[in-house]
Amino acid sequence: MKFSGRERLLVSLMVVLGAVAVWYFFAYGPLQQRKAQLTATLQRQKAELARMESIAAQRVALEQEFAARQERIQAIEAKLPPAREIPNLLRQMQAVAVESGVKLTLLRPGPTEAPAAAPAAPPAGQQPAGQQPAPAQAPIYRQFRVELAFEGNYDKVLTFLRRLENFPRFVAITQFTLAAQELPLLRLAVTSNTFVLPESSR
């Protein structure tokens, strides 16, 4: 059976179209689906990588913040002597008075005691109705009051107060009384709080 030129062209065209259809459905289509799957997987992996990098950056920042806090804690603890060093602390105050040129007429320490701690308020909306807030934990440090009385001229008194302000231990002046009886002599009475760490905290 002979085909005309037009028929042969149509048959050839149908064969080509059939081959293209077979290639599309059995080769190109699955490849495109695989490509889409790989693209989606790549996007998920990129998102996961970005999340992990963010976590790593946060960890580094937290480690740096923790190290900085540790340094600050160590610096603060260096200014909080253990309770057994209270006599040495009082001798240091006496030495500062002598070096400043004032006459120390009273140096009376009080007993060590725990400072009052205000209870921490819970975040808004998180405190159940009718429930009492949990008591705050007492600070680990202890405080004791020191009463000081001294006299000297204006320059020496000012020098002594500045030395107390820059004292190597924490000294918080809570009460201050000044009297001038025989100028230029000034008499001062100071009540201050200083802080120590219990032996168990060392």
Residues 50 and 110 in one domain: no
CA distance to 92, 132, 176, 185, per residue, from 98 (Å)? 10, 52, 20, 16
| Spatial separation of the C-alpha atoms in residues 31 and 25, rounded to whole Å | 10
CA dihedral 27, 33, 35, 38 (to 10 degrees): -140
- The dihedrals phi and psi of 102, each to the nearest 5 degrees, come to -95, 160
Can you give the residue range of the structural domain that contains 59? 1-78
Residues 94 and 38 in one domain: no
Residues 96 and 149 in one domain: yes
Number of domains in the chain: 2
Task: Choose the final residue of a domain: 78, 99, 124.
Answer: 78
Mean pLDDT is lowest, of 97-111, 127-141, 145-159, 182-196, for: 127-141
The yes-or-no verdict on residue 96 having pLDDT over 60 is yes
Mean pLDDT is lowest, of 11-20, 78-87, 170-179, for: 78-87
Residues 89 and 16 in one domain: no
Task: Choose the final residue of a domain: 60, 78, 96.
Answer: 78
The residue to which tokens 């999340």 are assigned: 51
Residues 94 and 179 in one domain: yes
Residues 71 and 88 in one domain: no
pLDDT at site 194: 80
CB-CB neighbours of 100 under 10 Å: 20
- Whether residue 22 is contained in a domain is answered as yes
| Spatial separation of the C-alpha atoms in residues 191 and 202, rounded to whole Å | 27
CA 181 to chain centre: 50
Per-residue pLDDT averaged across 133-144, rounded?
A: 61
Question: For residue 59, what are its two tokens?
Answer: 């960890």
Q: Grade residue 117 by pLDDT with cuts at 50, 70 and 90.
A: low
Residue 96: closest CA among 41, 192, 165: 165
Rg of the chain, C-alpha, whole Å: 41
Q: What is the pTM of this model?
A: 0.47
